[in-house]
Amino acid sequence: MKFLKWGAIGLGAILVIALAVGFFLPAKVHVERSIVIARPQATVYTVVSDWRQFNEWSPWFELDPDAQFTYEGAPGEIGARMAWKGKGKAGAGSQEIIETEPFEKITSKLVFGEKAEDGEALSTMTVLEVDGGTEVVWSFDYEAGMWPWERYMALMMDGFVGGDYEKGLENLKAYVEKMPEADFANLDVEFMDVEPVPIAYMTVHTASDAEAIGTGYQKGYEAVWSFMKENSITSAGMPMGINISATEEETVFDAAMPIPANVEPPAEGLVKIGTTYGGKSLRVVHRGPYGTLDQTYEKIAAYMAAHRLEPNGRSWEHFVTDPGEVAEADLVTHVYMPVK
């Protein structure tokens, strides 16, 4: 009996000491993991700031794939919110962007449950340019509270969360590295609804080198201008180039001029009358030589992949400045990409 008595006293002492120690344990929890992704900073930031792409790389989605997700706000903007409600391990909760540093950092508030009282934390994605691509640092910050058992739980948080963060970052790397490599950070892009425009055009087939394409445009425009002069048709805008197809061997496009409405189409000949695309589009401003347009198209492809945009027809160029009047470096071309 004496043994049991002293054992109980010892156990009680241990519990008292453990509780006392618990009060002095850190209340703040910080967990972080990092990875390097071989893609530009703009691409990585665009993906991690878009809740609609979160489940493409989330380490928790497979725990409850039937969970219901709702989204609010513009992707990447303060106030953008994702909420989920599941019947499995995912439970319920939400994540809302509360702070951004474009292309560098995004901070969101996590709520575990359906209301803030159920528990809150901060999740931060820091996106840094490094040799070999972009380093992503994913961190989790949590206030454990004043009670000792909460603080003991906090000591184990790295073990609870760290493995999931590592898996999520590996998923993110695999997902993003399937996207194009071009850096679109300095792309001058705008969403807009474009109106259809009547055009006179000639379809040109040419080799795919820059000199052959330039010669093809010249011949196409000469034919269109000749047709317009013969039929007393005035120009209604600057020249356009509407892309049809391109391979290493052959490039096909329409050399086009905007014209007034209701022009009677010709019965025969190489020049036709038509109408351009009308609807939702990206407009990108390209500055400089026409020979560098390919680089702009590569950036557009990377931008569309990171934003999960799908093309909705043929792209075209609107040649805003006249190469006979300005230096090649000062040429301005508007590139339009129809999107769904």
Give tens-digit pLDDT for 287-335: 999 989 999 999 999 999 999 999 999 999 999 998 889 999 999 999 9
Q: Where does residue 308 fall: left (phi above 0), alpha (psi -120 to 50 degrees), or beta otherwise?
A: left
pLDDT of amino acid 89: 67
Map residue 107 onto helix, strand or coil. Answer: strand
Please answer whether residues 145 and 151 qualify as being in contact, where contact means their C-beta atoms are separated by less than 8 angstroms: yes
What sign has the CA pseudo-torsion 311, 315, 320, 324?
A: positive
Q: Picking from 8-12, 30-34, 201-205, 216-220, which range would have the lowest pLDDT averaged per residue?
A: 8-12
Distance between CA atoms of 319 and 330, rounded to whole angstroms? 12
Q: Residue 18 has which token pair?
A: 């453990």
State the chain's mean pLDDT as an integer.
87
- Is residue 157 predicted with pLDDT exceeding 80? no
pLDDT tens, position by position, 129-153? 999 999 999 998 876 645 444 544 5
| pTM, full prediction | 0.84
Q: Picking from 63-77, 175-189, 297-311, which range would have the lowest pLDDT averaged per residue?
A: 63-77
Position 274: which residue type? G
Distance between CA atoms of 90 and 92, rounded to whole angstroms? 6
Confidence of residue 222 (pLDDT cuts 50, 70, 90): very high
Please answer whether residues 241 and 256 qualify as being in contact, where contact means their C-beta atoms are separated by less than 8 angstroms: yes
Position 98: which residue type? I
Q: Residue 42 has which token pair?
A: 């703009």
pLDDT of amino acid 212: 94
Is the pLDDT higher at 116 or at 266? 266
Residues in the chain: 340
Cα radius of gyration (the chain): 30
pLDDT of amino acid 183: 97
| pLDDT (average), residues 213-218 | 94
pLDDT of amino acid 9: 43
| pLDDT (average), residues 41-45 | 98
H/E run at residue 41: helix 41-48
pLDDT tens, position by position, 91-112? 889 999 999 999 999 999 989 8
Confidence of residue 163 (pLDDT cuts 50, 70, 90): confident
Please answer whether residues 40 and 134 qualify as being in contact, where contact means their C-beta atoms are separated by less than 8 angstroms: yes
- Is residue 18 predicted with pLDDT exceeding 90? no
- Is residue 117 predicted with pLDDT exceeding 90? no
Q: What is the rounded (10 degree) CA torsion for 265, 267, 269, 272?
A: 20
* DSSP helix, strand, coil percent of the chain (3-state; round to 5): 35, 35, 30
Residue-by-residue DSSP string for 290-336: GGGHHHHHHHHHHHHHHTT--B-S--EEEE-S-TTTS-GGG-EEEEE
**Structural domains present in the chain:** 25-176 (3.30.530.20), 189-338 (3.20.80.10)
